[in-house]
Structure 1
């Protein structure tokens, strides 16, 4: 009976979204990528500490105890591990990922890269060590290493809106849902994503990077909601959100400021804000009763228009990232 009920609710959610977007539903379930980076077995075989047993702070301390020469030896011998260790020095991670990826991302600062599944990629726009402020953008469905352009477009727009003063991380660092289907209606992928996002911010803190403002789009806001209690962030900004798996800001358990935006033409408004039998993501964060600070978005267009040049939402996002609004 429970399985039958879940199927009915999932069908209702998918039908509602499709009706509102002329979109499609994916019947293929995604398997979340978990565990240590590729190449970890060889790393362990060399007598190096197990990454799965170390926090980002411990990883940072391990690298601080190595000479510069030894650090570079590890980059050469184990690039796929070093490039994905939250807490390792940023310059080493960039160098390691450049070795692993070759010409594909030439000239870009790649903070993490995982070829498993559909592929994951984390890109840095700007200098994390000198920027006045830092932002992380967490995407929703369909974003992966092979389809990262919509995410990097948002990052570039935010960089321009802050006149280059904010370093922005495009975080395609978790397995996102594909299309609109059961994966998008449940929190399974978001739970794994939340763990990975938490390690990202722990790693930034361990390497001296200021606490970021985290911008969470669509299903990415489910990830942020589940991560909120442990996330080292100064702001959580959700937009086009189906819910954060919390009834109100207080239930998120975060000291970060929580902001929400939804434009009137966003099809996400047609998704029922319910949570039943593990399906749906709960209260709309843009509902005043949720308690989030409002981001004006009346001139944004559709589900993906919040970073469009000249919009109130983009101007406010830039102000939030720079700490110019209270």
Structure 2
């Protein structure tokens, strides 16, 4: 048997095992997050920023979102979910800045870190699988650290604007959730461009979030698309994204996602897998050093990946030397 044939069969076997495990393993955390009730927000379609991001306009938007969070907090408390109510109470802190909030079905949010009204550089952080209200702390922490790294005249927006798949699920192996998410992300970024026409906007796409960004990329007016911790984006190469943005890729030396087979199968009702490795020369992205961290460490304090992602957002050249690059 030819070596290539053996390798192909091995990749197929690994993917089949992963799919089988994804279907068989229960995902209680995601089910619990979606099961906690929340009211319909007063502004149900407020996915885009206000057309004018003046301090008064932003203050009004943040106040509207805070009211929606408080309403969800009361509903969770009435449902007997004290943990969720306490967590929502923390999100309703007047110091927090949400452009939108919807507590239903795991949650949809866009939180701003920094002053969006004066930002010259804006990073839109798109998270991956298993990101929901019950696990929001991870996204919040990474966005806050990136905002501190970027410093003045910059803003970070943590965009949890879609129904993320569970890490251990068939949905995490298919582009379906990304297809659902892409129109909302495109509308959000276009609204941001109207609101801040002179700002440099970068999309930062972690794990499954990289598939979302790839689906939304066509013609989007952003300076950079940064893929990190990505198993693939269901595109053959950078050209297939049809974007004028500079596309970057980084992966930590300790990230388990490097072992995910880079294959893609078109089945009768679903496409499984994401194809070409974004780190590979054939994909064509510019590769930046991401250090030795694991899948959840890209925005860790003091990490090479945090430093390099911040450099990209600022329009600077990142380091491309080092393990994990």
Q: TM-score, normalised by structure 2?
A: 0.75
Q: 1:83 to 1:246 in 2, by over 3 A?
A: closer
- Which residue does the alignment assign to 1:80? 43
CA distance in 1, matches of 2:218, 2:235: 11
Mind listing any 5+ residue stretches in structure 1 that lack a counterpart? 1-6, 19-23, 40-77
Q: 1:322 to 1:249 in 2, by over 3 A?
A: same
User: What secondary structure, in the 3-state scheme, does the structure 2 residue paired with 1:148 have?
Assistant: helix
Q: 1:213 to 1:25 in 2, by over 3 A?
A: farther
- Cα deviation, residue 300, structure 1: 3.2
Residue among 153, 157, 164 paired with 1:169? 157
Asked if the contact 1:142–1:178 (Cα under 8 Å) also holds between the matched residues in 2, the reply is yes
Residue among 141, 159, 165 paired with 1:153? 141
Matches within 5 A, 1:18-33: 26=27
- Which residue does the alignment assign to 1:314? 306
CA distance in 1, matches of 2:64, 2:208: 30
- Which residue does the alignment assign to 2:113? 125
Residue among 232, 238, 243 paired with 2:227? 238
- Cα deviation, residue 314, structure 1: 1.4
CA distance in 2, matches of 1:141, 1:13: 15
Q: 1:232 to 1:13 in 2, by over 3 A?
A: farther
Matches within 5 A, 1:49-198: 79-81=42-44, 83-90=46-53, 91=58, 92-102=60-70, 103=89, 104-107=91-94, 108-198=96-186
Asked if the contact 2:114–2:155 (Cα under 8 Å) also holds between the matched residues in 1, the reply is yes
Asked if the contact 1:83–1:96 (Cα under 8 Å) also holds between the matched residues in 2, the reply is no
CA distance in 1, matches of 2:61, 2:28: 36
Matched, 1:216 2:205: yes
- Which residue does the alignment assign to 1:52? none
Asked if the contact 1:14–1:25 (Cα under 8 Å) also holds between the matched residues in 2, the reply is no
Asked if the contact 2:47–2:188 (Cα under 8 Å) also holds between the matched residues in 1, the reply is no
Deviations 1:38-88 (A, max 9, x none): 86xxxxxxxxxxxxxxxxxxxxxxxxxxxxxxxxxxxxxx84247545454
User: What secondary structure, in the 3-state scheme, does the structure 2 residue paired with 1:215 have?
Assistant: strand
Asked if the contact 1:87–1:206 (Cα under 8 Å) also holds between the matched residues in 2, the reply is no
Q: 1:253 to 1:229 in 2, by over 3 A?
A: same
Asked if the contact 1:211–1:233 (Cα under 8 Å) also holds between the matched residues in 2, the reply is yes
- Which residue does the alignment assign to 1:263? 252
- Cα deviation, residue 28, structure 1: 10
After superposition, the CA RMSD in angstroms is 2.8
- Cα deviation, residue 270, structure 1: 1.1
Asked if the contact 2:289–2:304 (Cα under 8 Å) also holds between the matched residues in 1, the reply is yes
CA distance in 1, matches of 2:242, 2:29: 33
Q: 1:85 to 1:301 in 2, by over 3 A?
A: closer
- Cα deviation, residue 205, structure 1: 1.3
CA distance in 2, matches of 1:239, 1:263: 8
Q: 1:184 to 1:95 in 2, by over 3 A?
A: same
Asked if the contact 1:9–1:279 (Cα under 8 Å) also holds between the matched residues in 2, the reply is no
Q: 1:148 to 1:246 in 2, by over 3 A?
A: same
CA distance in 1, matches of 2:251, 2:112: 26
Q: What is the aligned length? A: 270
Asked if the contact 1:157–1:307 (Cα under 8 Å) also holds between the matched residues in 2, the reply is yes
